[in-house]
Chain A
Amino acid sequence: MQHILASQLKAFRQYSINEQTGSTDVSRANEMMVNVAKGLTTVEIEALSQYIAGLH
């Protein structure tokens, strides 16, 4: 259990570092997704993410 928590903590820290430093995930930058995301504001991305979270 302890190693699972430690693993989560490490990953969360990495996520935070990525977010703060602007590190990017290059494989996500495919042409299609770049075009889609380019046209969306931060508010729209948040709204879309909330909609997708409830989609089943």
Chain B
Amino acid sequence: MKKTIIALAYILIASFSSPIIAAGDAEAGQAKTATCMGCHGLAGNSTIPTFPKLAGQGEAYLIKQLQHFKSGERKNAMMNGVAGMLSEQDMMDIAAYYSIQTISENSANADAETLELGRKIYVGGKMDTQTTACIACHGAKGLGIPTAGFPAISGQHAAYTSFTAKSIPSIFHK
């Protein structure tokens, strides 16, 4: 219960926080994505499961991640190098472009039992470990809360989502 209240407070505060004011030009952004395309695919639909799809991702979230890559706050050798060459305007343009693309659908790759387990956790969290439901921040359809900077996750490659969750330091690397 306490964690649920904290989660709701977190969402509320984030919702009222000033989002990054994006003033990107999607057309200009498209022209700047030639390098991105190598890993993130055409129109941000990566075909390699370990690389995230960017299509349809929230503009503010994308800008924030690029800023973090550039500053080194978020670490990835490839992305630190790529983002390091981008100006703030480049970031806004690229984010504007990807945010209006449509994410591709994935072919089913799991049995019904596995999907049901995933659905239960997504919608209801876990009572025994007091794990907050994903739906609280990412929404019923996994579209996130763009104004709060919470990312869209629906349609993302399972391998990428899984890797990201597992890479959270406090679980596996402390």
Is A32 in contact with B132, judged by CB distance below 8 angstroms? yes
- Residues on A with C-beta less than 8 A from B74 are 25-28
**Could you list 22 examples of A-B contacts with CB < 8 Å?**
A8-B39, A11-B38, A18-B167, A19-B163, A24-B167, A25-B164, A29-B170, A32-B10, A34-B168, A39-B129, A40-B129, A44-B118, A45-B162, A47-B114, A48-B161, A49-B161, A52-B154, A53-B155, A54-B115, A55-B153, A56-B105, A56-B142
Given contacts A4-B38, A26-B75, A47-B121, 14 further A-B contacts (CB under 8 A): A6-B38, A8-B39, A10-B78, A11-B39, A34-B169, A38-B170, A40-B121, A40-B165, A45-B162, A47-B118, A48-B118, A52-B153, A55-B154, A56-B141
- Residues on A with C-beta less than 8 A from B158 are 46, 49-50, 52-53
Q: Out of B117, B118, B131, B167, which one reaches A52, CB within 8 Å?
A: B118
Interface residues of A (CB under 8 A from B): 3-8, 10-12, 14-15, 18-19, 22-29, 32-40, 42-56
A24 nearest CB neighbor, chain B only: B169
- In the complex, A14 Cα to B78 Cα: how many Å? 7
Is B68 in contact with A29, judged by CB distance below 8 angstroms? no
How many A-B residue pairs lie within 8 Å, measured between CB atoms? 172
A40 nearest CB neighbor, chain B only: B131
Given A10-B78, A15-B50, answer yes or no on A51-B132 (Cβ-Cβ < 8 Å): no
Q: Tell me how far the C-beta of A1 lies from the nearest C-beta in chain B, rounded to whole angstroms.
A: 10
- Residues on A with C-beta less than 8 A from B10 are 32
Interface centre among B78, B118, B132 (most CB of A within 10 A): B118
141-157 of chain B: CB within 8 A of chain A: 141-142, 153-157
Interface residues of B (CB under 8 A from A): 3, 7, 10, 35, 37-39, 48, 50-51, 65, 68, 73-78, 105-106, 108-110, 114-115, 117-119, 121-122, 125-126, 129-132, 134, 137, 141-142, 153-159, 161-173
Q: Tell me how far the C-beta of A41 lies from the nearest C-beta in chain B, rounded to whole angstroms.
A: 9
- In the complex, A10 Cα to B39 Cα: how many Å? 10
Given A11-B38, A15-B50, A46-B114, answer yes or no on A22-B172 (Cβ-Cβ < 8 Å): yes
Given A14-B77, A25-B76, A55-B142, answer yes or no on A50-B68 (Cβ-Cβ < 8 Å): no
